[in-house]
Amino acid sequence: MRSSRDLAEILKRIDGRGYKAYKDIQGAYDFGWFTLYIDHVQGDPFASPSRLRARVPQSKAQIPEAWRKNSSRLVALEDYLTRQFARVAGAVARGVKGTGKSGLIAIDKPGQQVLPRTSMVVTPEYVESRFVVGLPASGRRVLGHQAETILCHQVPEIVRKSLLAKNLDSQAVQEHVEVVEDADYIREHLAEQGLVAFVANGSILPRASGISDKPMNAKEAVPFQSPKTLEVTFITPNHGEITGMGIKVGITLIVGGGYHGKSTLLRALEKGVYNHIPGDGREFVITNPNAVKIRAEDGRGVEKVKISPFIVNLPRGVDTDRFSTSEASGSTSQAANIIEALEGGAEVLLIDEDTSATNFMIRDVRMQQLVSKDKEPITPFIDKVRQIYTELGVSTVIVLGGSGDYFDVADTVVMMDEYCPRDVTAAAKQVAEAYRTERIPEGGAGFGTISRRCPLPESIDPTKGRGKIKIAARGVESIQFGREEINLRYLEQLVDPSQSRAIGDIIFYAKRYLDGSRSIREGIELVMQDIEREGLDVISPYKGQHPGDYALPRRHEVIAALNRLRTLKVQVKPE
4 with 27: CB under 8 angstroms?
no
- Whether residue 526 is contained in a domain is answered as yes
- Whether residue 265 is contained in a domain is answered as no
- Whether residue 216 is contained in a domain is answered as no
| pLDDT attached to residue 85 | 98
344 with 520: CB under 8 angstroms?
yes
> What are the distances in angstroms from CA 430 to CA 316, 353, 375, 420, 434?
44, 23, 33, 22, 6
* Alpha carbon distance 60, 292 (integer Å): 43
Scanning 237-384, the segments in alpha helix (DSSP H) are 262-271, 330-343, 358-361, 365-370
Please give the tally of structural domains in the chain. 2
Q: Are strands 207-209 and 195-200 parallel, antiparallel or unpaired?
A: unpaired
Which structural domain, as residue segments, surrounds residue 484? 452-573
Mean pLDDT by 10 residues, the chain (575 residues): 96 96 97 97 94 98 97 98 98 89 95 98 98 96 96 98 98 98 98 98 95 92 97 98 98 95 97 98 98 98 97 90 96 98 98 96 91 92 97 98 92 96 97 91 92 96 89 96 97 98 98 96 98 95 86 98 98 85
| pLDDT attached to residue 375 | 87
Beta-carbon neighbour count of residue 191 at 10 Å? 12
| pLDDT attached to residue 526 | 98
- Whether residue 544 is contained in a domain is answered as yes
* Alpha carbon distance 46, 99 (integer Å): 7
> What are the distances in angstroms from CA 420 to CA 229, 259, 270, 520?
14, 12, 19, 41
- Whether residue 367 is contained in a domain is answered as no
- Whether residue 178 is contained in a domain is answered as no
Residues composing the chain? 575
- Whether residue 232 is contained in a domain is answered as no
Boundary (domain end) residue, out of 168, 192, 211: 168
| pLDDT attached to residue 347 | 98
> For residue 430, what are the β-bridge partners?
none
Boundary (domain end) residue, out of 136, 168, 200: 168
pTM over 0.85: yes
Q: What are phi and psi of 198, to 5 degrees?
A: -145, 135
Boundary (domain end) residue, out of 141, 168, 195: 168
Element spanning 556, H or E:
helix 555-563
- Whether residue 416 is contained in a domain is answered as no
| pLDDT attached to residue 467 | 80
- DSSP state, 372? -
Determine the number of helices (DSSP H) and then strands (DSSP E) in the chain.
15, 30
Beta-carbon neighbour count of residue 426 at 10 Å? 10
